[in-house]
Chain A
């Protein structure tokens, strides 16, 4: 592990934010499973419904990376890190993105365990096709990968916007206002958005992309955002 990555990992893991997100991720995962199964318990569930029930929630990790990265500017912790490392802001951002990818997986893992531990027995008793081991493994692996990539995407957004409030509000507006409006016009466009392909990789079936296709699209979204953030970081003042 490089010194930059180790330093950024220590930063990420030594505030209560990490535990807070881990708790939120577990609660949301549990809520998703119970709300998807209990209200219509006993009714026929398709395989896609069952997949959606235990799919990951990658948007949580966009917010995790975004709040963490923008928080670096709010608390002015970027400058001491750059000065200690003797590297430019772009290199530091890449290390931060790596740290959030790792901690994103660490936060997603307990949520996934809870999802599967609660969801699989409940789904097994629901009518409809059974969720196989391969499906389950694909969803679990896809959810963890989507969490990591979404956290990196969030870090890039946070570094570009640099304001926690503006970036969180902007993300929520896109999620709850812009994308639903676009969905009225084109489901494919929503599927192709970062939120769409992240959900697709995490196990929610999409009309437009397979899980693999969604994964490739998500990698593309992440790389473009990260590249833009690194370029911006190299051009702007650190403090």
Chain B
């Protein structure tokens, strides 16, 4: 990490390892979270995302390594806002009282409770007991708690889980607005395509190890690609493409194929040589999910 990068980093994670007995949940993970950016912390279920986040924010002790937020291991609610599942609210306590207690612990005025409830759209449920909340409402409550101190850094664990489409859209624009205003957001998700619309940078972990760190644009460009063709005689083209070492990724109605392992020019020449008529020939970028799967497969191998 360069000095400049260290200066810019809102969160620095160095050689972080977390073991529970024989199980290594997080294994020597290092990365930085850029200030003023939204960073997706991605990985399949069980990859170690939540454990890593707990260790980063200081509610789990690392076995080795360290994480620093704005250069300090335990920041308060004015610096760092965290929402990690579950919400951590007593089911018998009202949303208002839950947030009021957290505001008091942080030394914040009680008036802030009303403000954050309004931000997350829960003002109508302020006096309801948390035990009666839906999953989406609990997510919003967790987010409200994270926002109490109006922190410059937000760490959100699977924040889109349980939100309805309107909630997802709201959260995306909210997170983007925070970043646009200079805030930093680290959010985890096990669904890459869901997070891809929101994040600038991506950190992928799999089986506790770092699988990728870079921008979402770089990740998208990592795709192996392929060529989409449509032909009235797909059988001949499939045979010829396989003979040339290509993979036929899918075939559906109307003779539409995805050929992997050849570029568009090579497929065009092959079709010409086989006298196969093409109705469509276009390069096809690999989907983010495909890149995600290939990253995690490689790491698992």
> Is there contact, CB below 8 Å, between A14 and B104?
no
Residue of A nearest to B94 (CB): A14
Residue of A nearest to B96 (CB): A14
Q: What's the Cα separation between A137 and B270 when bound, in Å? A: 102
Q: Mark B94-123, 1 if CB is under 8 A from A, else 0.
A: 100100111111110000000000000000
Contacts of A10 in B (CB 8 A): 97, 100-101, 104
Q: What's the Cα separation between A76 and B142 when bound, in Å? A: 12
Q: A15-B90, A16-B92 are in contact. Are A83 and B82 (CB under 8 A)?
A: yes
Q: Which of B77, B84, B86, B88 contacts A86 (CB 8 A)?
A: B77
Q: What's the Cα separation between A6 and B97 when bound, in Å? A: 12
Nearest CB of chain B from residue A157's CB, rounded to whole Å: 20
> Is there contact, CB below 8 Å, between A86 and B101?
no
> Is there contact, CB below 8 Å, between A75 and B60?
no
Contacts of B87 in A (CB 8 A): 80
Contacts of A238 in B (CB 8 A): 58-60
> Is there contact, CB below 8 Å, between A79 and B93?
no
Secondary structure of the B side of the interface? loop
> Is there contact, CB below 8 Å, between A7 and B59?
no
Q: What's the Cα separation between A71 and B89 when bound, in Å? A: 11
Q: What's the Cα separation between A15 and B129 when bound, in Å? A: 10
Q: Which of A6, A7, A15, A85 contacts B76 (CB 8 A)?
A: A85
Contacts of A4 in B (CB 8 A): 105
Tell whether A237 is near chain B: CB-to-CB under 8 Å. Answer: yes
Q: A3-B104, A11-B101, A239-B59 are in contact. Are A79 and B84 (CB under 8 A)?
A: yes
Nearest CB of chain A from residue B121's CB, rounded to whole Å: 20
Contacts of A8 in B (CB 8 A): 101, 105
Which chain A residues (1-24) contact chain B, with CB distance < 8 Å? 3-4, 6-8, 10-11, 14-17
By size class, the interface of chain A is: 20 to 34
> Is there contact, CB below 8 Å, between B59 and A86?
no
Contacts of A79 in B (CB 8 A): 54, 59, 84, 88
Tell whether B126 is near chain A: CB-to-CB under 8 Å. Answer: no
Contacts of B107 in A (CB 8 A): 3
Q: Which of A3, A77, A88 contacts B89 (CB 8 A)?
A: A77
Residue of A nearest to B78 (CB): A86
Tell whether B182 is near chain A: CB-to-CB under 8 Å. Answer: no
Q: What's the Cα separation between A82 and B59 when bound, in Å? A: 8
Q: What's the Cα separation between A107 and B121 when bound, in Å? A: 36
Q: How many residues on B have C-beta within 8 angstroms of the other chain's C-beta atoms?
A: 35
Tell whether A133 is near chain B: CB-to-CB under 8 Å. Answer: no
Contacts of A7 in B (CB 8 A): 101-106
> Is there contact, CB below 8 Å, between A83 and B90?
no
Residue of B nearest to A88 (CB): B74
> Is there contact, CB below 8 Å, between A14 and B106?
no
Residue of A nearest to B77 (CB): A84
> Is there contact, CB below 8 Å, between B92 and A17?
yes
> Is there contact, CB below 8 Å, between B93 and A14?
yes
Contacts of A237 in B (CB 8 A): 54, 59-61
> Is there contact, CB below 8 Å, between A80 and B54?
no
Tell whether A161 is near chain B: CB-to-CB under 8 Å. Answer: no
> Is there contact, CB below 8 Å, between A75 and B105?
no
Q: A86-B76, A237-B61 are in contact. Are A75 and B89 (CB under 8 A)?
A: yes
> Is there contact, CB below 8 Å, between B60 and A84?
no
Q: What's the Cα separation between A3 and B103 when bound, in Å? A: 9
Tell whether B211 is near chain A: CB-to-CB under 8 Å. Answer: no
Residue of B nearest to A235 (CB): B61
Residue of B nearest to A86 (CB): B76
> Is there contact, CB below 8 Å, between A81 and B105?
yes
Residue of B nearest to A7 (CB): B105
Q: What's the Cα separation between A117 and B101 when bound, in Å? A: 36
Tell whether B217 is near chain A: CB-to-CB under 8 Å. Answer: no
Contacts of B102 in A (CB 8 A): 7, 80-81, 84
Contacts of A87 in B (CB 8 A): 74
Q: Mark B156-189, 1 if CB is under 8 A from A, else 0.
A: 0000000000000000000000000000000000
Nearest CB of chain B from residue A72's CB, rounded to whole Å: 9
Residue of B nearest to A85 (CB): B105
Contacts of A17 in B (CB 8 A): 92
> Is there contact, CB below 8 Å, between B145 and A80?
yes
Given A3-B107, A75-B90, A86-B77, 8 additional A-B pairs, CB 8 A: A14-B94, A15-B92, A16-B92, A75-B91, A77-B88, A77-B89, A84-B149, A238-B60
Interchain Cβ contacts under 8 Å between A and B, 13 examples:
A3-B104, A4-B105, A10-B101, A11-B90, A17-B92, A80-B145, A82-B58, A83-B58, A83-B59, A84-B149, A85-B77, A88-B74, A237-B59
Residues of A within 8 A of B (CB): 3-4, 6-8, 10-11, 14-17, 71, 75-88, 235-239
Q: Which 5 A-B residue pairs are closest in the complex by CB-CB distance?
A: A86-B76, A7-B105, A7-B104, A14-B97, A238-B59
